[in-house]
């Protein structure tokens, strides 16, 4: 288990923290977040200049290398101020770097990874469907039909964040029917250029992550050449499975970073706001709120970096990644709610961070998989029968 960061990772953490404090302190993040649907291209470019898009990409493809621990450090420090805006880095990292690293051919890696590392292309995830949600495969209606030279794709996707500004969609489509009742349908994973004829996108109004517009994506006989196939045809979900642990650990690191931000704001406010003749941090209930957030912070930190260390060493960490996903999302949401309470009336002001973090965090209990479904999966690992 990784109990602490080594010197090089501490230096990297400090570099990221200084970069965020200098370039994107909370005040600037609040202003960016207010621009609903206005993608923060300036933030994407600044991250490219800082080398963040190159983290986790092999040096052979123009990246900086690094493993799950390194990306967890970056995710945490970005989210401490940027909150949901951290997905400007996170979604292309997962949809591009991780998917290509696991399922891409040498030619695909050589073509796309250097461009992603340099910040020249972006990716968005197009997996969820209107009637699906957690029942991802059973409810999948988007189909990819094999045709000469490629695939013809028709259907609809939901919650594709950053899709309108993406260069490619990481799209999962049904590509056949199961041979036995109750079996998972064959699926194929494709990198779909967003400029392809037959694609239409519409923004979805939502509670949080407001400057990271999420889209409905409509696909009407969209042709995708064979060169855009990731992994093996009809086994697309297996490519995604190889990346799911990383996605859950990264979500945990982002939740942890926002929890850090909530704790900092709560302490600062409680140390300066006065009521009943003294700073409110002198009142026991406020102290308990802050202490509970500090307790949650340490739990999330230990779980997140333990799972990240396990993944980086090649140890099976599916159970640990699931635990991270549930615990960090629930503790961080509760911490943000307490942060609002500490700030009182200012807690619901758009000028403070706790409400922004609460809105950005609330989706973590639902996505990338619901906490209820994770609990089902965890129960199965203890020998209990499948419940769904």
24 — phi, psi (to 5°)? -135, 60
Instruction: Output the pLDDT for position 192.
Output: 98
193 — phi, psi (to 5°)? -60, 130
Superfamily classification of domain 124-233: Butyryl-CoA Dehydrogenase, subunit A, domain 2 (2.40.110.10)
190 — phi, psi (to 5°)? -130, 145
Q: Provide, rounded to the nearest whole percent, the portion of the chain with pLDDT above 90.
A: 88
Domain 7-122 has CATH 3.50.40.10: no
pLDDT digits (tens, 9 = 90+) for 90-145: 999 988 898 999 899 999 999 999 999 999 999 999 999 998 778 888 889 999 99
Is 241 within 8 Å of 127 (Cβ atoms)?
no
Cis peptide before 368 (omega within 30 of 0): yes
pLDDT digits (tens, 9 = 90+) for 169-215: 999 999 988 877 767 899 999 999 999 999 999 999 999 988 889 99
238-381 has which fold?
Butyryl-CoA Dehydrogenase, subunit A; domain 3 (1.20.140)
Q: For Cα atoms 170, 48, 73, give the angle at the middle one, nearest 5 degrees.
A: 80
| Residue 82 CB neighbours (<10 A) | 29
Per-domain boundaries in the chain:
7-122, 124-233, 238-381
Is 191 within 8 Å of 231 (Cβ atoms)?
no
Residue 1 has pLDDT above 70, yes or no: no
pLDDT digits (tens, 9 = 90+) for 321-375: 999 999 999 999 999 999 999 999 999 999 999 999 999 999 999 998 999 999 9
55 — phi, psi (to 5°)? -70, 135
Question: What is the mean predicted confidence (pLDDT) over 283-294?
Answer: 98
Whole-number Å distance between alpha carbons of 263 and 265: 6
Instruction: Output the pLDDT for position 243.
Output: 84
Is 336 within 8 Å of 255 (Cβ atoms)?
no
């Amino acid at each position: 288990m990784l109990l602490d960061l080594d010197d090089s990772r501490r230096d990297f953490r400090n570099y990221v923290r200084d970069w965020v404090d200098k370039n994107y302190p909370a005040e600037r993040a609040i202003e960016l977040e207010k621009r609903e649907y206005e993608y923060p291209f300036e933030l994407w470019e600044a991250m490219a200049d800082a080398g963040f898009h190159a983290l986790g990409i092999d040096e052979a493809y123009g990246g900086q290398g690094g493993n799950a621990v390194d990306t967890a450090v970056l995710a945490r420090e970005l989210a401490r101020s940027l909150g949901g805006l951290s997905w400007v880095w996170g979604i292309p990292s997962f949809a591009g770097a991780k998917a290509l690293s696991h399922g891409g051919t040498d030619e695909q890696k050589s073509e796309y990874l250097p461009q992603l590392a340099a910040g020249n292309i972006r990716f968005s995830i197009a997996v969820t469907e209107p009637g699906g949600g957690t029942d991802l495969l059973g409810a999948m209606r988007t189909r990819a039909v094999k045709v000469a030279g490629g695939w013809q794709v028709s259907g609809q996707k939901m919650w594709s964040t950053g899709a309108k500004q993406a260069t490619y969609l990481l799209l999962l489509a049904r590509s056949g029917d199961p041979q036995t009742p109750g079996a998972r349908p064959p699926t194929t994973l494709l990198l779909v250029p967003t400029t392809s004829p037959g694609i239409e996108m519409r923004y979805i109004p939502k509670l949080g992550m407001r400057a990271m517009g999420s889209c409905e994506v409509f696909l009407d006989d969209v042709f995708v050449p064979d060169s855009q196939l990731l992994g093996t045809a009809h086994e697309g979900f297996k490519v995604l499975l190889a990346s799911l642990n990383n996605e859950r650990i990264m979500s945990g690191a982002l939740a942890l970073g926002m929890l850090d931000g909530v704790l900092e704001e709560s302490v600062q406010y409680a140390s300066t706001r006065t009521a009943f003749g003294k700073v409110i941090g002198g009142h026991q209930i406020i102290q308990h709120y802050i202490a509970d957030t500090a307790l949650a912070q340490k739990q999330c930190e230990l779980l997140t970096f333990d799972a990240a260390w396990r993944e980086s060493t090649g140890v099976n960490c599916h159970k640990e990644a699931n635990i991270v996903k549930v615990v960090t999302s629930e503790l961080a949401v509760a911490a943000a709610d307490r942060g609002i309470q500490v700030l009182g009336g200012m807690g619901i002001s758009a000028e403070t961070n706790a409400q922004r973090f609460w809105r950005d965090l609330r989706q973590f209990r639902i996505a990338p998989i619901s906490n209820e479904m994770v609990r089902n999966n965890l129960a199965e690992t203890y020998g209990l029968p499948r419940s769904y």
